[in-house]
Every structure is written in structure tokens, then in C-alpha cells.
Structure 1
């Protein structure tokens, strides 16, 4: 049986992180216990369930109780320190409680996004050697419990299957029987929680290639969460944090679970994408801050314009996960009455940069913000006169290890603790101590005829303003010995022609060598749950010569 033990941190770095307040000797469990003791009836989560339209308001007392009961169930399953507990559940409040329960027993939580299907689920479970997997009977028309039961014989590390819903159908253990409808357990025999012990393994989105497992501790997550809250929380008083991000990714827990535990606030999220219901939920909860992705934010803007909701407490709207189109910045301000603030981060560093309240109101059209406390960034240009280069980071919120193949081969080098971690992003300085992301190294497009590098993000943002373009991606397309600059476009009405796109770029004054020389029309672009374009899929598809 494979388990994860503490990954050694450089003692001097750990001391520096602690002395600066970026790491601490307590964990998020201590935060839960404190609020459950001092403000037991205050809400910690407001969870919308789109299936039946209900809204579940969960108190700190109730949340603390479920965390402890789930921890007791995991102990009954024989889960030990360092064992991996995987779960693939919708964005329910119980999913957040399971995350904290894993911390309580010293297990490593492995959230799996609900959108993944059998092939990817089995691969993720095999890589970590998960001892327990918790899933739902079915969700969005897919039989998760049956898929897990079918692959279980091929997963030698898997000892227990737990199903929320109809567990009997697949011979699994019922979620409520083992985790909810049970007496409060005695957890006094458990060892104290080590904040430097790996507590979560998250697989990257795979937007540029094969996903890898990223290992975080309570302290690396705390470094990101505390820095994020310093940039996002408007001040003392009510803190109601809403997000459309997934509980099974780092963004939602950081913003609406771990983040609110630091403030004694309330997290607000729902279990399925529905912009109208999300706005209703935000209004009901008295939301003060919102984190979302740019594509989802555009949908929220449209829903708000169609039927305006009163959101008098909203003071912060942040967008991350993908590029913020410049045109969205004034639109958000006009719709919600607050500036849009861009944020950049990645699974490896939890969260990296953010536009702040003291930046100009439209700054997110030009920048992805300044580094958050505890993290350093630098742009390494190819030559001394260059402006765009490789973005590198290091600091207290960086992961402590990565899994590229299986759990027996964990890499702890190049993680950004002391050394610099190459993010794979291209960036430039924004002139105010921050950065502007220009794209991914793997997404660079080079025009062989003009011998110039195409500013992909700039071209995409300009084409996005064309009335016939709903969504667009610029990629290189190999055709025999030639490499073409290809615009893959989702039409917004009457499909544009390549000549019309050229006319639009010409009217904007763009350099002619940047124009795409191929146009492909598609119904939608492949994106991950955070809204990031999966350009490697597009490149593979068109290099193979077949439509997506």
C-alpha cells in the first residue's frame, strides 16, 4: 500500500516563511474549530443545488460536525497518514467537508472534477494509488458509480468505494450511512495534523499537454489563501465569497472554503453552471466578492442585463483561469458597478498575481496584477532588450512535489522553493510592478515566411471584437512542409470570411504579417472546466487534417 509521507522542506526557507507569516503552525481545522466555538450558528457555506432548486445554508457547527464524522468514517476504513482519498462529487457542501476531513486524518485528498470520464478517472486513481474513492451514483447523465465499479478490479490500491446516492446498485458503501448518519466519533487517538504534510494532490488541467499531479500542504495552500484574501477582502465585516469555480479544483476551495475560514466568512457556490440561478444565489447570500472565469463572467453579465438583481454588497469581481478580454473590463463595470480585477495563478502555485483595488479601474485590460505576498515573479527575456519572456516564480505557495507518472516517482526538485519554477507562460512587465500574460510557450506561433513571432493573445483579442466572432483561438497548423497561422473561430451570427477578418485587423492597425492565413469554423472550442483553451487538442486535430 502506497502512502505519502512528509516531504522535507528546507529548514531555512521554512523558518523564513513562518517568520513572514506566510506559513503557520496551525491548520484550517483550527479555524473551523474556532468559528464553530465562537460563532456556531453563523453560515460557513451557502450551496445552491440546481437539480431541485434548493439552497442549503450550512452553519459552522454543522460543518464542523460533518468534517469530524467523515473523518471517523475514514478511520473506520483504515485510512492512515499519507493515504490518498479520492473523490469525484458535484460542488456540494459535503464535498468541501470531505476535503477538510481528509486533513483531519492526515490523508491526502485527491479531488477529481466531475467532467472526467472512465479513462481519465482510472488513470488518475492509478497514478496516486488511492485507497478510498467517493463518488456520486450519476451526474449530468453519466453513471459515475458504475464506471468506478467496473475499473475497481484493475486498481490494486483501491480498498473502498463510497457512493452518494444509490450505493446498493454497485455494491458500494452508502455515503450517508458511513459519513453522515453515525454518532460523533472519538478522534483523540489521531496524531496532531502536520501543516507541512502533503494534504492535497491536484492534477493540472492538461491545457498544454498531459496532466500531472501537484502536491500541496496546508501551509502552501495557506500562503496562497492568506495572500489572496489580503488582496480581495474589502475590510472588516461581512465576507460572502461567491465563485463559479469547481470545488474539485484549487480555485473554489481557495476562495470560498479555505479563504472564508480565515475570515470567518461564508462561501457561496452552486453545483452546476446556471448564470441566472448563480446571480439569484449571490443576491440571496449578500455576496461581497466574486471569483469566476472570463467566459463564465460574460454569461453572468448577459444574465444580469436580461434580469438585473440587486447586489448592493458586491465590491470585488475577479476573473482568472484564462485571458480577460479587454472589452470585458468596461462591460463588468457598467453591469455590476465595480471594476473587474484580473488574477493569474496555476495549480503549482495556488495563486500568483492579482490586480489590486489601488490599481487604475481599467487596469485588468492591461495587466494580470502584482505578485501576492510570499511569491516572487520574474520575466526572463531572450536578450537584454527583450520585453516578453519566460515567466518564472518561487515562494511560499509553491507545491512541494509533482507526480508525472505514478506515486512511486515523486519529483521534489524545481518546485519553486528557493529555485525558480518555470511556469511555461510568456509574460511582460506591466509597468506597475506586475505582469501581463502573453500566452503559453507551447502556444507560440511563428510565421516562417515573415520570420516573426505572432503575438497570439493580441491577435485573438482583436479578432474577438469582430461582430461575427464569438470565440477564437490562434494556432499553428502544419500542412506538409509549411506552417500556417490558423484562426479557429466560433461564429457569433453570420460566419466571417478570412478576408473579413483581415479587413478587421487592418482597420485596427495590426501588422499584416500577424494576419492568419487559414480559417476554420467550429461550433465550440475545447476548454477545460476553468475555461482554459486546450490548444494542444486543436493543434493535434488540425495537424492530423481532420475537423474538431
Structure 2
């Protein structure tokens, strides 16, 4: 699936930026071409269909190149996040691809370290802005040294909706890492929801989460089909986020409640006052319930609709409010199920609850995970008999079908995505 989408995106969008990290820009054409060479390199390294490839890389062009390359040969990509350490030996990856200084020694594992430069000094993130941020360096293929091969990749694999593509690690309440598995069929469900039959209609976005997060791992098909540029920050900082939004005239600001609140605090303390964002048309808050008053404050500050987004990692797709909804929807609820998503509220005995009664929040759609990677016991515990995934949240529905969250249940599932 990703191989076909990447090739078509390269044909349609060519030199348009697919990933912009501030100092490096990778076009759609180069993304497809370079991932072909890395796919050949992975095969040369002995990676085969069904093997796990772990990516411990800074957010930048190398992550999507390697992710696409693995998908092109039928391997599974696990994106590692700095905030959620994973004991890799337990998951037995065929290859770990990393950059200098990001991982401790991994005896017994095959590790390939890309020459991306030494880890920056404390307080100085990767991809720090250049003196003239409008001038980007051409992508240096030497950054893929030891992995890229100047030859054609292995031939395309036959279509298989059940072939695993991605593993997304999240932390549970017990702290034990689990990896939700997403196959071609889940990525297709996300693609159909986010892009439908449209090509080239995606507006550029500043990503608020690491590339190893669900947001990018399962939505790469949407970025490819819509031609959406992914602007990435190696570390979320309010000043850097505002700079990217203003310089690139982005129309959507998205972030967690904590990130958005931090952005408001930064503006209030900024000596130069507010940053003008005349092209902004929407603010999206997701990843947890917003604090009281945050949604209203964001709407008043930016003068645009503010929407909530809600899902858990295992669900793939979830709920949300819409720009045309009454403002109080986003202030007090996380909205209604998105297209193709079923929502249920049930008591501990599995009985459906009427509006107003608090129960366990369950979600079901074509994007729900296949289960946890190499953990059938934990996988069995997150599904109901009729295919709903347990989010670990409790809440209630109002008369209009809007969900309000009230807390966490005793089910040991992932944190909100």
C-alpha cells in the first residue's frame, strides 16, 4: 500500500516538500527515490518480510525514508520515542537504525548508526534554525551511508491487507511498554477516512508529536495522497512552533492541551507581544482533556474555531468536535464518533448505558489495532467479544451523542494518543 502511494505521490507532487525539518527539506520525489535505495540496503542487510525494524532516529527526513523502505520489502517498522523507552531485546528486531548518542549499547542486536552528526549540546535541539531559515540545504545522501544502495529495491509484494506494517509503542499504567500492531487494512481505513478519493488537497501541518507516534505512523498514507507537507520540530517549543506557523503561513495549529497552554503562556510573557497568524483558520487539541477554560481562551486568542480530538492508540480513529459545532461542544465534550467509528458506553458487566450514566468508553472501527506485538495475552484483554477496543477511559454521553470524559477505568490499556 505505502509503496504504491509513495510512487504516485512522487509522480504527482515531485519537488513539493514532504518533510521540512527547518534545515533539511525532503521532496516527495526524493522520499520515494531514497526509500527505494534504503529498501535495497535493508534487503542487503538481511531484513525480510515480517521482520521488525526499529527506528530510534531524530525527527527528520531519515525517519520517513526508513519507514517507507521497510514497508516496501514487507518489514514492520517500530518507531521508538525518546519519552517511552522500550527494552528492545524483548521484541527481537532484525535491525535497529539509530543516530549517534540516542541509544545505550544494545548487545546481541544488529544496530546500524547513521552519520547524522553528534547529539547536540544540552538545550540545543537537532534541526536548530539556521541564520537564514529560508535557505535549505539539499538533502545529502551521505546521511544514509551504510544503509542506502544505488540499486533497485526488491520487486513489489502481492497485496495483503493483513500484512503488518507498523508497531506503535505506548506506555501503560503499569509502565510496561506494549506495541500496537497496524496492518495494511488499518492504514487503508485511516487513509479512506482522511483522504477518500482526493489527491493533492492537503494543507501543510506542523506536527506536534514525534514521528514514531500514532499520528504519523498510521497517517503517512494521508500525507502521501494529499501531498501534505509535514513540518517537524525536533522538540516542541512554543517559540519554534510560532515561528514555523508564521513563516509558512500554516492554517492549522494542532497540539496537546499542555502544548497549547504553553504556547499561550509564552505569548503572554513574550517581550514583543503576540505573533500574528493571519492565515490560521483552525486549532486542534488532542491527547488528553483540556483544562477548564483552555478551549475558550484559545478561541478568543486566535479568533478561529477550536476542536477537540479524542482516541486511544489502539483505536486508530476516534471522536472529535467539528468547526461548525457550537463552541460549547469543544469546551465541555470530546465530540461525537468520526465517520466509520462506533462508540459504546458499558457498565462492568458489559451492558450498554443510557445517556447520562458513566461507564467504560469503547471504540470500534476498521482502524482498530490487530493487537499487541508478540503479546497475545495482553492483546486478548483489550478487546470485547464484539470487537470493541477498551480505551481505559470512563465517561458519559449526553442527549446529543457527545462524549464527556470523567476519568480512567481499571483496565490496563494505553494512554490517550
Q: Is residue 4 of structure 2 the alignment partner of residue 30 of structure 1? A: yes
Q: Is residue 221 of structure 2 the alignment partner of residue 258 of structure 1? A: yes
Partner Cα distance (1:333, 1:341) in 2: 10
Counterpart of 2:365 in structure 1 is: 395
Counterpart of 2:107 in structure 1 is: 152
Q: Deviations over 1:36-68 (max 9, x none)?
A: 1122022222223xxxxx3x2321111112221
CA RMSD in angstroms, aligned pairs only: 3.1
Counterpart of 2:70 in structure 1 is: 102
Worse-superposed segment, 236-245 or 194-203: 236-245
Q: If the length of structure 1 is used for normalisation, what is the TM-score?
A: 0.64
From the superposition, tell whether residues 414 and 278 of structure 1 become closer, same or farther in structure 2 (CA, over 3 Å): closer
* Equivalent residue in structure 2 for 1:205, among 152, 156, 171: 171
DSSP 3-state at the match of 1:199: strand
Counterpart of 2:126 in structure 1 is: none
* Equivalent residue in structure 2 for 1:68, among 29, 33, 36: 36
2:81 touches 2:212 (CA, 8 Å); kept in 1?
yes
1:393 touches 1:416 (CA, 8 Å); kept in 2?
no
Structure showing the higher helix proportion among its residues: 1
1:244 touches 1:252 (CA, 8 Å); kept in 2?
no
Q: If the length of structure 2 is used for normalisation, what is the TM-score?
A: 0.83
DSSP 3-state at the match of 1:322: coil
Counterpart of 1:21 in structure 2 is: none
Q: CA deviation at 1:92?
A: 1.1
Q: CA deviation at 1:80?
A: 0.6
Gaps of 5+ in 2: 119-141
2:344 touches 2:363 (CA, 8 Å); kept in 1?
yes
Q: Deviations over 1:221-258 (max 9, x none)?
A: 3323543568xx9x985611222111111124455x43
Q: Is residue 7 of structure 2 the alignment partner of residue 58 of structure 1? A: no
2:114 touches 2:145 (CA, 8 Å); kept in 1?
no
Partner Cα distance (1:94, 1:199) in 2: 17
Q: Is residue 261 of structure 2 the alignment partner of residue 295 of structure 1? A: no
2:98 touches 2:111 (CA, 8 Å); kept in 1?
no
Partner Cα distance (1:371, 1:237) in 2: 23
Partner Cα distance (1:380, 1:176) in 2: 50
Equivalences, count: 385
Counterpart of 1:176 in structure 2 is: 144
Counterpart of 1:360 in structure 2 is: 326
Q: CA deviation at 1:322?
A: 1.3
From the superposition, tell whether residues 331 and 254 of structure 1 become closer, same or farther in structure 2 (CA, over 3 Å): farther
Partner Cα distance (1:89, 1:329) in 2: 33
Worse-superposed segment, 346-355 or 410-419: 410-419
* Equivalent residue in structure 2 for 1:244, among 208, 215, 228: 208
From the superposition, tell whether residues 285 and 32 of structure 1 become closer, same or farther in structure 2 (CA, over 3 Å): farther
Counterpart of 2:387 in structure 1 is: 419
Alignment of 1:450-461 (within 5 A): none
Counterpart of 2:112 in structure 1 is: 161
Gaps of 5+ in 1: 1-26, 49-53, 168-173, 444-527, 533-548
Counterpart of 1:111 in structure 2 is: 79
